[in-house]
Structures are given as C-alpha cells and as structure tokens.
Amino acid sequence: MSVCQWVKIFYLWRPNLKDEADNHLVELAVAGNAQIIVTRNINDFKRSQLQFPQIEILKPEEII
C-alpha cells in the first residue's frame, strides 16, 4: 500500500467482460498502465470483447 497511487478513470471500456462486476479491473489496469492483472477468474478475462495485449492475466500462484 505504501507504493500505491490513486488513478482517475476517464474512459469506461464497457461492455468488455461477460461478468459486469469484473469490468472495473480492466478499466483500472488500463488507466494505471498495469502490466498484469492477478485473478483466479482467468476464463472471463481471456474471452473479453476488447483485447489489451500489454496486460497479462495471471493466477496468483504464477506470480509467486
């Protein structure tokens, strides 16, 4: 948390994911120039309507 930074979202990338509750994660990742989204919900993210090749979707155990 000591290295976190608040990021304003100026554009909503919706509809993107089948599960609406996950869309905010993509929006935050794009706005914050993230390289990785860590989630166990890999399948929903792999089938997104919009592709962001600069953002990798990984499971927690793949990070550790």
pLDDT (0 to 100) of residue 7: 82
pLDDT (0 to 100) of residue 36: 94
- The distance of Cα 62 from the centroid of its chain, to the nearest Å, equals 16
- List the domain boundaries for the chain: 1-64
Tens-place pLDDT, residues 2-53: 888 888 887 777 778 888 888 888 888 988 899 999 999 888 888 888 888 8
CA distances, 24 to each of 2, 51, 56, 64 (Å): 22, 15, 16, 24
Tokens, residue 20:
């609406």
pLDDT (0 to 100) of residue 37: 93
